Amino acid sequence: MQPIAISGILPSASVADIRQTLESGGCSTTDRCGASAGPDDLPAAVWERIKDHPCYSEEAHHYFARMHVAVAPACNIQCNYCNRKYDCANESRPGVVSERLTPDQAVRKVVAVANEIPQLSVLGVAGPGDSLYDARKTFATFDLVAKAIPDIKFCVSTNGLALPDYVDELAQHNIDHVTITINMIDPTVGEQIYPWIYFRNRRWTGLDAAKILHERQMEGLEAVVAKGILVKINSVMIPGINDHHLMDVNAAVRARGAFLHNVMPLISDAAHGTAFGLSGQRGPTPQELKGLQDQLGGGANLMKHCRQCRADAVGLLGEDRGQEFTLDQLPDEVVYDPARRSAYRDVVEAERDDRRAAARAADQALATARDTLLIAITTKGGGRINQHFGHATEFQVYEVDRSGVRFVGHRRADNYCLGGHGDDDRLESVIAALEGIDAILTAKIGDCPRDRLEQAGLVVLEDWATDYIEPAAAAAYQRLREAPPLRRSA
């Protein structure tokens, strides 16, 4: 099939629609806000823009995939949580390195992925340095991909220093979603995070550097919002430095029209060679992160399902299939075939309506619930409990109470099963990762890991294998509360 001409992506929401969304607290209901919002909670034009974006819609992340192309290697600032050997830690786990691509190589890779992974809906540039420091490569990549795949969304992640200089170009290139990493609005906090920046042909340090960065971030945020582009703010939570301050950051970015705020935990390890890793600066515990998110819940549109992906990530947010699409595996020429993506979208449309109806019924069934349970599930996507315990490298966590079933985050762990046998050390690390969780719902689990999890105080249930998550979690709540303590499902 021949490449199709460039066209716009999805219908645009107006700035007024976005403002209306923000002014109403993020949504028209109190329970489903931010990334958890659904079509009933948002103006139709806003929903249309986020419904297939796995980062902007929690629901979409069960169905749609993103990919990043590592076309932006250089950076104009230094963050204390970054080691330049690795990807940009603003959107990436430190300790992994991406294969750098030219725009021509990138478009080959995007088309190969689109032909192979029908869930693909978004192409992002998120490093491995800053996407806008050498913006030519970023925009050249989007130009080439737009010619080859007309219905893919474009997304950019930046530290914001160069952002005010590229607002018009972002809009001209149909970049519909921009992420700015903003860790402070007070330069005295900023100077503890950023040792230097490079701006207007010179290096700035200390308070001056933090002031310039802050002013540029605010200017860029306001200008991008004024263009009608949806803006997400990423903040790295650094205990003792900006953890309390992030409440102020949240208020400031919200006042300027940011659509979502994503608070990510600092990942810090001396082995990564970062300033924070070497100084022993710790990251927050899952409980501390959730505590801050709960505090922010009343005043912001929050994203809680971020996976801190790498700059060459490919696939659903919880998975990374990048290694299947390295340059040496790509054909020299590849032509886009839209058939699989189109068929997939038709199936998903019906499936999402069905799941939403089931989730609403589940919420109603919980109206008399008296307390709160945290339930972890294993899933391969599709909003269903469809993964074996031993294969899970993360557990999605849902809070279940009288308000219904809500996604609250995920816990990472190495998969227990290593092709035919389980690893006891890994099982212990899974148990540690599941601290505070009341029950696990999974598609299948062996007797040995089940017994050990139960010894550790977790309830393990297989009864809802392949079912939708929300009704299964509601049914599990009712089972546990009607007949506690329940240990085995079969």
Q: How far is the CB of 207 from ligand SF4 (least distance, A)?
A: 18
Which is closer to ligand SF4, CB of 25 or CB of 273? Answer: 273
Angstrom distance (rounded) from CA 249 to CA 253: 6
Q: How far is the CB of 185 from ligand SF4 (least distance, A)?
A: 17
Judged by beta carbon distances under 5 to 8 A according to partner kind, the member of ligand SF4, ligand CLF, none in contact with residue 88 is ligand SF4
88 touching ligand SF4, by CB under 6 A: yes
Which is closer to ligand CLF, CB of 55 or CB of 373? Answer: 55
Q: How many residues does the chain have?
A: 490
Judged by beta carbon distances under 5 to 8 A according to partner kind, the member of ligand CLF, ligand SF4, none in contact with residue 306 is ligand CLF
Judged by beta carbon distances under 5 to 8 A according to partner kind, the member of ligand CLF, ligand SF4, none in contact with residue 37 is none
Q: How far is the CB of 33 from ligand CLF (least distance, A)?
A: 17
Stretch that binds ligand CLF, among 10-18, 118-126, 205-213, 385-393 (CB under 6 A): 118-126
**What type of residue is 150?**
P
Which is closer to ligand CLF, CB of 223 or CB of 231? Answer: 231
Which is closer to ligand SF4, CB of 71 or CB of 79? Answer: 79
159 touching ligand SF4, by CB under 6 A: yes
66 touching ligand CLF, by CB under 6 A: yes
Angstrom distance (rounded) from CA 276 to CA 457: 35
3-state SS assignment for residue 260: strand
Sign of CA dihedral 395, 401, 264, 34: positive
Judged by beta carbon distances under 5 to 8 A according to partner kind, the member of ligand CLF, ligand SF4, none in contact with residue 173 is none
Q: Tell which one of 33, 79, 96, 316 touches ligand SF4 (CB under 6 A).
A: 79
Structure tokens at 112: 């190969």
Angstrom distance (rounded) from CA 396 to CA 468: 13
Angle (CA) 74 252 198, round 5°: 25
Judged by beta carbon distances under 5 to 8 A according to partner kind, the member of ligand SF4, ligand CLF, none in contact with residue 159 is ligand SF4
Strands 459-461, 394-401: pairing is unpaired
Which is closer to ligand SF4, CB of 130 or CB of 243? Answer: 130
Name which of residues 176 to 215 contact ligand CLF (CB under 6 A).
177, 179
Angstrom distance (rounded) from CA 49 to CA 337: 23
CB 290 within 8 A of CB 408: yes
User: Please, which residues bridge with residue 459 across strands?
Assistant: 439
Name which of residues 94 to 133 contact ligand SF4 (CB under 6 A).
127, 129-130
Q: Name all contacts of 298-301 with Cβ < 8 Å and 24+ positions apart.
A: 299/250, 299/251, 299/254, 300/26, 300/34, 300/250, 300/254, 300/261, 301/21, 301/22, 301/26, 301/33, 301/34, 301/35, 301/37, 301/254, 301/258, 301/259, 301/260, 301/261
Angstrom distance (rounded) from CA 424 to CA 426: 5
307 touching ligand CLF, by CB under 6 A: yes
User: Please, which residues bridge with residue 233 across strands?
Assistant: 180, 261
Strands 314-315, 65-68: pairing is antiparallel
78 touching ligand SF4, by CB under 6 A: yes
Strands 439-441, 373-377: pairing is parallel
Angstrom distance (rounded) from CA 154 to CA 170: 10
68 touching ligand CLF, by CB under 6 A: yes
Which is closer to ligand CLF, CB of 157 or CB of 442? Answer: 157
Which is closer to ligand SF4, CB of 159 or CB of 301? Answer: 159
Judged by beta carbon distances under 5 to 8 A according to partner kind, the member of ligand SF4, ligand CLF, none in contact with residue 101 is none
317 touching ligand CLF, by CB under 6 A: yes
Q: How far is the CB of 79 from ligand SF4 (least distance, A)?
A: 3
Alpha-carbon torsion angle 99, 103, 106, 110, nearest 10: 160
Which is closer to ligand CLF, CB of 26 or CB of 390? Answer: 26
Residue owning tokens 């589940």: 362
135-148 and 103-116 helices cross at what angle (nearest 10)? 40
Name which of residues 225 to 264 contact ligand CLF (CB under 6 A).
232, 262
Stretch that binds ligand CLF, among 3-11, 14-22, 239-247, 301-309 (CB under 6 A): 301-309
122 touching ligand CLF, by CB under 6 A: yes
Q: Tell which one of 306, 316, 469, 480 touches ligand CLF (CB under 6 A).
A: 306
Report the interface residues with ligand SF4, using CB under 6 A.
75, 77-79, 82, 88-90, 127, 129-130, 159
Report the interface residues with ligand CLF, using CB under 6 A.
55, 66, 68, 91, 122, 124, 126, 155, 157, 177, 179, 232, 262, 306-309, 317
